[in-house]
Amino acid sequence: MHNALSLYLNAKDFRLIIRVHLFFVSHLMSIFALRKPDVTSRVVQTMAKFTGVQFQIIKCILLIILAFGLSFNANSANEDPETKAEELVVGDLIFEHVLDAHDWHILTWNGHHISIPLPVILYHPEKGLDIFLSSEFHHGHTSYRGYKLVDGKIISEDGSKYYDFSITKTVFAIIISIVLLCLIFISAARAYGKNKGQAPKGIQSVIEPLVIFVRDDIAKPSIGEDYVRYMPFLLTVFFFIWLNNMLGLIPIFPGGANVTGNIAVTMVLAIFTFVITTINTNKGYWVHIFNTPGVPWWLKFPVPLMPIIEIFGVFSKPFVLMLRLFANITAGHMIILVFVSMIFIFGSINVWAGYGTSVVSMLFSAALSLLEILVAFLQAYVFTLLSAIYFGMAKVEDHH
Partner 1 sequence: MELVTPDIGLIFWMTVSFTIVLAILKKFAWKPILQGLKDREDSIKESLSSAEKAREEMAKLKSDNEQLLADARLERDKIIKEALATASNIKEDAKTEASKISGKMIEDARTAISSEKQEAVAEIKRQVASLSLEIAEKLLRKNLSDSKDQRALVDQFINEVKVN
Question: Does 382 help bind partner 1 (rule: CB under 8 A)?
Answer: no
User: Per CB under 8 A, which region of 39-47, 97-105, 296-304, 359-367 contacts partner 1?
Assistant: 97-105
Is residue 264 near partner 1 by the rule CB under 8 A? yes
- Closest CB to partner 1 among 169 and 288? 169
**How many CA atoms lie less than 13 Å away from 341 in the CB half-sphere?**
27
Q: What is the layout of strands, in order, in the sheet containing 163-164?
A: 128-133, 119-124, 163-164
Q: Residue 121's Cα: distance from chain center in Å?
A: 24
312 binds partner 1 (CB under 8 A): no
175-234 residues in contact with partner 1 (CB under 8 A) are 175, 178, 181-182, 185-186, 188-190, 192-193, 196-198, 207-208, 211-212, 215, 228, 231-233
Q: For residue 126, give every residue at least 6 positions away whose Cβ sits within 8 Å of its Cβ, in sequence order, or none.
A: 160
Distance from the Cα of residue 389 to its chain's centroid: 22
Near partner 1 by CB under 8 A, which window of 52-60, 172-180, 248-256, 376-384? Answer: 172-180
Neighbours of 383 (CB within 10 A): 26
CA-closest candidate to residue 340, choices 368, 320, 316: 368
Give the Cα separation of 210 and 317 in Å (integer): 25
Q: Which stretch binds partner 1 (CB under 8 A): 30-38, 128-136, 168-176, 382-390?
A: 168-176
CA atoms 192, 193, 199, 200: torsion sign? negative
- Comparing CB distances to partner 1, the nearer of 331 and 394 is 331
Alpha helices in 99-202, H assignment, sequence order: 169-194
Dihedrals phi, psi of 144, to nearest 5 degrees: -145, 125
Whichever of 107 and 231 has its CB closer to partner 1, that residue is: 231
User: Which of 163, 290, 301, 352 touches partner 1 (CB under 8 A)?
Assistant: 163
Q: Output the CA–CA distances (angstroms, integers) from residue 123 to 102, 133, 170, in the order listed.
A: 16, 15, 19
- Position among 62, 171, 247, 340 found at the interface with partner 1 (CB under 8 A): 171
Does the footprint of partner 1 cover residue 315 (CB under 8 A)?
A: no
Q: If you count them, how many residues does the chain have? A: 400
Is 25 near partner 1 (CB under 8 A)?
Answer: no
Shortest approach of partner 1 to residue 113 CB, angstroms?
Answer: 21
Within 340-379, the residues that bind partner 1 by CB under 8 A are: none
- Count other C-beta atoms under 10 Å from residue 181's C-beta: 15
- Termini Cα distance of the chain: 74
Give the nearest distance from C-beta 189 to partner 1 in angstroms. 4
Shorter beta-carbon distance to partner 1: residue 207 or 373: 207
Specify the 3-state DSSP secondary structure of 279: helix
Pick 69 or 347: Cβ nearer partner 1: 69
Q: Does 101 bind partner 1 (CB under 8 A)?
A: no
* Residue numbers 110-139 binding partner 1 by CB under 8 A: 121
Alpha carbon distance 208, 228 (integer Å): 16
Contact status: 156 vs partner 1 (CB under 8 A): no
Cβ–Cβ < 8 Å for 227, 214: no
Binding site for partner 1 (CB under 8 A): 95, 98-100, 121, 153, 163-168, 170-171, 174-175, 178, 181-182, 185-186, 188-190, 192-193, 196-198, 207-208, 211-212, 215, 228, 231-233, 235-236, 240, 262-265, 267-269, 271-272, 326, 330
